Amino acid sequence: MATFYNKLQSNILADRYLETMLADWKGTLLLIIQAPILAFLAVMVWGNIGKATESMFFVMVLSSLWLGCINASREIVKERPLFLREKMANLNVASYLYSKVYVLGLLCTVQIFLYTMIVWKYVDVKVPVGWLGIVLLFTAMCGTCLGLLISSLVKRSDYAVALVPLVIIPQLVFSEFAIAEDQFEGASEVVFKLMPTRWGYESLLRFGETDIKYFEGLAHILPLITFGILFLIIAYPILRSQKY
């Protein structure tokens, strides 16, 4: 009975959240438009070369993480009073998080579809379009979960937006475009391996090889899934402990 109730609650919350996003169609459209803008910027640069490079793979992955994170970063904190009131009335926190992930996942799917098709049409990315979309979508969903964690931690929407660059910039600093992978040692090596962009980037490299290494490409997606789940697991007790 409890499982049925939680599932029903999840569906109701997801429907309400989707209706809210569609009602605010200007804000939602603004989020969607970010994807083709980022895609055309990439095309402007790598279109001069005519084909993707390793740096383009990294930019695509980083852009996807940004899209997911910025989408979700304000989605809990902006409705904190409503969430706390409903929690007093037996709102299930897991159902609440599910509704956010589900609807934001739909948004990410639209964004990544637009991003992938634009880049794939104008640049030889060397990665089958299906695999390119899958890797970027998993990266964006990891960013979504990270954004929800940020949103659960802060008390104001502007704090959430300010924190997004602070989680995106380390993706650049602790990457192979800062120093070679074998030069990371000690704590920096641990942080390097904890960067979601590292795994999405490595996955695209495997799918972009002449002899595509499907198993290795898929294996590098697993850490993205793990990180996303971990972000939600951390967010859950934080939201559970909050009181009106």
* Segments forming the whole domain that contains residue 56: 2-241
The H or E element containing residue 49 is none
What pLDDT was estimated at residue 3? 66
Angle at 144 between CA 18 and CA 142, to 5 degrees: 135
Mean pLDDT of the chain: 90
What pLDDT was estimated at residue 223? 95
The residue type of 129 is V
How does pLDDT run across 182-224, given as a tens digit for each residue? Answer: 788 888 888 888 999 999 999 998 988 877 778 888 999 999 9
Count the domains in the chain. Answer: 1
Contact at 8 Å (CB) between 126 and 204? no
Q: Give the residue with greater pLDDT, 211 vs 73.
A: 73
Q: Which of 96, 164, 117, 108 is nearest to 138 (CA)?
A: 108
Contact at 8 Å (CB) between 123 and 52? yes
How does pLDDT run across 135-184, given as a tens digit for each residue? Answer: 999 999 999 999 999 999 998 988 999 999 999 999 998 888 777 777 88
What pLDDT was estimated at residue 183? 84
Q: Give the residue with greater pLDDT, 187 vs 227.
A: 227
The H or E element containing residue 184 is none
Least confident of 9-13, 112-116, 224-228: 9-13
